[in-house]
């Protein structure tokens, strides 16, 4: 049994797209690593917004897919060959408009671009099985975008480990909010728990690998590097070279009920100091949000999102702090984002990309 499987992520600058994803079936190479040694697979950091890793589905020709590693969901899904979307050879602004791709789910139009997306073909796999338990209908909704289709079963390989007869979804329709010409991907691999599954409560990939004796524990971690750093998904015990001091553990809130990686916060603060001890010593911080026992603050650890979402009251406190402490320093530049919504504490604001809402500090 492998003690730890380490899957590195390699960052590349790809604006515009500097490579193509071959829409063909590829034969997976057999790993030659020694037992208990990390198995490393180079995958891609797309514009610092999504991290995609390689998986293979089917036998004997294993079909290759680049999927987002997402702790905010539990299902594995890939684009299905039986999709009902408009097909384009290359993804760019011209073909996007020509094919009427839209961010509106009401338009009933979705797009599939052969240079950035791969589609699963069950008829090319001898290990493919149709899903017969209850209904095979499948649908999932994310914070941005959605997908729907049907459930199937096949062998799925990640990092040299193969999960047999894994239940996954073939997407036949999806919101174009999920795709981008600058962010090639062919599906999403969820690392949340079984209770969060939209696939008829089927076992996740990690749970299946554990049940089938491929891994000795269901522990995993992610190390995200900067521009010149190396990023990895690690299945197994954490790599001690990736962190300093001791790991601080936090309890997961209602894991059996939600299946999500929610944890309880005691508060949130902001400081320009890199060291929290120094910030406290110099009193150079602002406490953004105090979490009360009767109004607890929950945070979701979500590797599939590029957004940092906070309550409105904390958001506006942060803006006020930046205006007061940074705008008076001539050596610093400051930009603040004005929310289009009100300051109701029950609402949440995220880092909207609307240029009209960004203003220079005065």
For residue 313, whether the previous peptide bond is cis, meaning omega lies within 30 degrees of 0, is no
Query: What DSSP assignment string belongs to 279-329?
Result: HHHHT--EEEEEPBTTB-EEEE--TT-----EEHHHHHHHHHHHHHHHTT-
Residue 221 is encoded by which pair of tokens?
A: 């971690």
Collapsed DSSP state (helix, strand, coil) of residue 91: coil
Q: Residue 258 and residue 242: Cα distance in Å, rounded? A: 29
The pLDDT tens digits for 207-264 are 999 999 998 888 888 877 655 567 788 888 888 888 888 888 888 998 989 999 998 8
Task: Check: CB of residue 8 under 8 Å from CB of residue 42.
Answer: yes
Q: What is the pLDDT of residue 326?
A: 63
Strands 146-158 and 50-57: antiparallel
- Residue written as token pair 């079963």: 153
Collapsed DSSP state (helix, strand, coil) of residue 131: coil
Query: What DSSP assignment string belongs to 232-268?
Result: EEEEES--GGG-SS-PPP-PBSSHHHH-S-EEEESEE
Q: How many CA atoms lie within 13 A of 336 on its CB side?
A: 19
Give residue 222's region: left, alpha or beta (phi > 0; psi -120 to 50): beta
In the predicted structure, residue 13 carries a pLDDT above the cut 50: no
Q: How confident is the model at residue 5 (pLDDT cuts 50, 70, 90)?
A: low
In the predicted structure, residue 164 carries a pLDDT above the cut 70: yes
Q: How confident is the model at residue 273 (pLDDT cuts 50, 70, 90)?
A: confident
C-alpha distances in Å from residue 22, one per residue of 124, 211, 346, 359: 16, 33, 46, 42
Of the listed ranges 28-37, 141-150, 300-309, the least confidently predicted one is 28-37
Of the listed ranges 15-24, 154-163, 186-195, 347-356, the least confidently predicted one is 15-24
Q: Where are the alpha helices (DSSP H) in the chain?
A: 93-98, 205-211, 255-258, 276-282, 312-326
Q: What is the DSSP letter of 201?
A: T
Q: Which of 171-185, 221-235, 241-255, 310-324 has the highest mean pLDDT?
A: 171-185
Residue 84 CB neighbour total at 10 angstroms: 12
């Amino acid at each position: 049994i492998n003690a730890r499987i380490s899957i590195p992520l390699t960052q590349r600058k790809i604006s515009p797209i500097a490579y193509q994803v071959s829409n063909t079936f590829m034969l997976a190479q057999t790993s030659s690593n020694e037992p208990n040694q990390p198995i490393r697979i180079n995958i891609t950091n797309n514009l610092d917004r999504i991290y995609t890793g390689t998986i293979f589905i089917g036998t004997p020709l294993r079909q290759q897919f680049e999927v987002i590693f997402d702790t905010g969901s539990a299902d594995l899904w890939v684009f299905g060959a039986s999709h009902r979307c408009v097909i384009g050879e290359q993804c760019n602004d011209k073909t996007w408009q020509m094919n009427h791709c839209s961010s509106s789910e009401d338009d009933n139009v979705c797009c599939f671009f052969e240079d950035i997306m791969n589609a699963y073909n069950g008829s090319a796999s001898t290990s493919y099985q149709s899903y017969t338990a209850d209904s095979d209908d499948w649908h999932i909704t994310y914070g941005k975008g959605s997908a729907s289709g049907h459930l199937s079963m096949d062998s799925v390989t990640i990092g040299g480990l193969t999960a047999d007869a894994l239940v996954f979804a073939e997407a036949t329709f999806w919101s174009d909010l999920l795709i981008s010409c600058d962010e090639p991907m062919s599906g999403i691999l969820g690392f949340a728990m079984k209770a969060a599954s939209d696939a008829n409560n089927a076992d996740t990939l990690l749970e299946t690998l554990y049940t089938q004796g491929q891994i000795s524990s269901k522990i995993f971690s992610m190390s995200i590097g900067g521009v010149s750093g190396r990023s990895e998904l690690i299945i197994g015990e954490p790599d001690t070279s990736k962190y300093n001091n001791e790991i601080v553990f936090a309890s997961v809130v209602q894991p059996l009920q939600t299946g999500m990686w929610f944890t309880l916060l005691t508060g949130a603060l902001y400081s320009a100091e890199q060291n929290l001890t120094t910030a406290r010593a110099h009193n150079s911080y602002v406490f953004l949000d105090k979490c009360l026992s009767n109004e607890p603050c929950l945070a979701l650890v979500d590797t599939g999102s590029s957004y940092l979402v906070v309550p409105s009251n904390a958001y506006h406190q942060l803006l006020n702090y930046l205006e007061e402490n940074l705008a008076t320093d001539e050596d610093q530049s400051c930009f603040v984002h004005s929310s289009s919504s009100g300051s109701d504490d029950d609402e949440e604001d995220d880092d909207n990309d609307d240029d009209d809402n960004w203003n220079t500090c005065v």
